[in-house]
Structure 1
Amino acid sequence: MIARELTGTVLENLAHFPVTGIIGPRQVGKTTLAKSILSTYDRPFIHLDLELDSDLRKLDEAETFLRFHQDKLVVIDEIQRLPRLFPLLRALVDERRVPGRFLILGSASPSVIRESSESLAGRIAYSELTPVSLRELAHSLPMEQHWLRGGFPEPLLMQNPTIAWRWLDNFINTFLERDLRILGYEIAPEAMRRTLQMLTNYHGNLLNVSEISRSLGISAPTVNRYLDILEGSFLIHRLAPYFVNIGKRLVKAPKFYFRDSGIFHALSGINTYEQLLDNRARGASWEGYAIEQIRRAAPERWQFFFYRAHTGAEADLVLQSATGDIYLAEIKLSLSTGVTRGFFHSGQDLQPKGKFVIIPEGDAFPRADGTLVCGLEEFLGEMRRSGGDG
């Protein structure tokens, strides 16, 4: 089993907060992580899986049941299926406010965040469990396989690639045909499927909602609603532009990325590494993959943007540390170590503390202009060593 870096954070939260939440997409390993933590936990606990009718029935009289087990850690899996529990959890916590009363797990649900933030503010600490990161793999698999298949544990580790891609196709179909309905969204599966297919053309590019609206024949507010649902379900990410008052006209639209490279490749019909390298989307795919790995490896409270001015200045990634320091990164699939004119000018505009060209692999070395060229794994290690100090 792959060791998950979130383990320590969850244990810290259990020791300090009445309610600990683990959120993330389906099949990402939330239940596996919880069971791993509980196997060495030093208190009695009870586990409820709300996908099981037998466990749902136990909560027909939820207040009575939870009071009976008030001296145990109560683990509630798939809590988005029973949102009425949130106000009750708040009341029980306020009656007896001690750490480690509830561990709640929620899959792909914006309502998990919304409901609990309203009901459990100041009582809960959230952690997002992402698909397995490159750093978590610790060289147990080739980076090429991770980039191609993405980080969902089952397809990533499968020996049979045909079954791995079938798993990813089924994941997408289940999200469209079951999960949206369970979450209370009255959206025709085919309408969301067309939206996902259309969005593959925007991966790594500026998001143009008006263009998508015209192409799909739906209103711009509907497109934005679909995007909010997909982002709240941990499937996509909109990277915001970095704004600074430098007297230049800056691009205001966000850039769009599918968060898991395997999902993007499944939607794009890319099933082998050779197909990926031959596909015109290979550069955008690598950029999205690298950015997602960087976001997962970053110290707490770091923020991420891109920079683009109408003058042509551009940086794929702007990293802002917790102390406000700025770093710029250009992400290149090519092993060529030259920087673009746009990246050079972005450095002049923003005067960052550090500049990087991130390539798939290779020894790190500095350029004459102060830019450090390094492989992705080397950059992730450097972020870890920084410890968030900027």
Structure 2
Amino acid sequence: METKKVIVIGAGIVGLSTAYFLRKQGVEVTVIDNTDGSSNCSTGNAGYVSPSHLIPLASPGIISQGLKWMLNSESPFYIKPRLNRDLIKWGLLFKKSATPSKVDAAAKVLYDLTVQSQSLYEKIMEEEGIEAGYKKPGLLMICKTESALHHEIELVELAKSFGLEAEVLSRTETETMEPNVQYNMAGSVYFGCDAWMTPNVFMREFKQKLEQIGVKFQYNTQLDRIIHKAGKIDKIITSQGEFSADEYVLAAGSWSPILMKQLKVDIPLQAGKGYSFTLPTPVAMPKLPSILVEGRVATTPMMHGLRIAGTMEIAGTGLNINERRVQGIIKSVKEFMPQFEEQDFSQIETWAGLRPCTPDGLPYIGRTKKYKNLLVGTGHAMLGFTLGPITGQMLSEKILNHKPSIVSPLLEVERFA
């Protein structure tokens, strides 16, 4: 039997995971990316693998809160006002999705995705001998105010309803669990189900393993045109020549809808820019990763320092760095962690990445209806790194006609058509 050929467009965690599961089944895989693969959204993130993240971005209250935040240039969430048809459509769909019933339905899907993906990470690292500082002692949600703590209690009950380890901690209990950092807080929520690692190290090691097992990489290759015939993708035209395969997987993150427009397939999606920087020798190194709730800032103790990440800026696909928003992250850290002073951030190098955000907070995973040999895996928002392995496995299952790990109409690619 002739070996099936698959082209994966995008060398982030979704693309690499798809290539991994396909290659393990003997498929000939080529991964194409328009960068050198060293600095995509899968490398500079907070490194969380978090089953606790059950609430999608489109949730009740986020719209009114978002409108307030838009008036503050240092706020954690910002939508740049502009007359853009795609943004307006996305916003209307976002509002329609932000209802309690739809959030409950989304939470069930996110639970299945995150729990299975965490198990897949552990299996991949064990079988392939990847060492990326993976740890699973949990995550803290640090709340500066009682009102924020009260709101997080609702998430604790939701997590417990799915059987996840979660509990509310007093200030004293939090200090006992996290003795290395002095937090300005009312208390915290502890999710014992969460894990983390150093994502850039994992991505580097994972790519090396893929190369060793025969996955081909075509970096610095710009995709110019997608040629189709009779309801199938025929070939792709790139800056490095033509490529053809039996199946095509689009895992290009925030750039996916731009490519899909060539094919007249509408997948509403907006790029949510986030920033991070790493302090190699922080004044205090926490034992556990934490989210500073009111500031929406993530702090993660990694192999090479303390990574601090934050903001959600919906302003197009540009990677320019808005220093005001970086200052907003720093301000939150200093307010929550008074051991840190302005001078601790004087030498930071800020990284920016784009999170692909769907209107309902759920990713697009599966085949397109219009083109029978085109699959899509994108739209994971803040959960891209968490959900990479399960997305890759689900896409490989569809290509190989294997029994699906997860089936849900809420993940269909053309659900908003």
Q: TM-score range by the shorter chain?
A: under 0.3
Bigger fraction of residues in helix: 1
- Give the TM-score normalised by structure 2: 0.26
Higher relative contact order (CA closer than 8 Å, sequence separation 6+): 2
TM-score normalised to the size of structure 1? Answer: 0.28
Q: Would you tell me which structure has more strand in proportion to its own residues?
A: 2
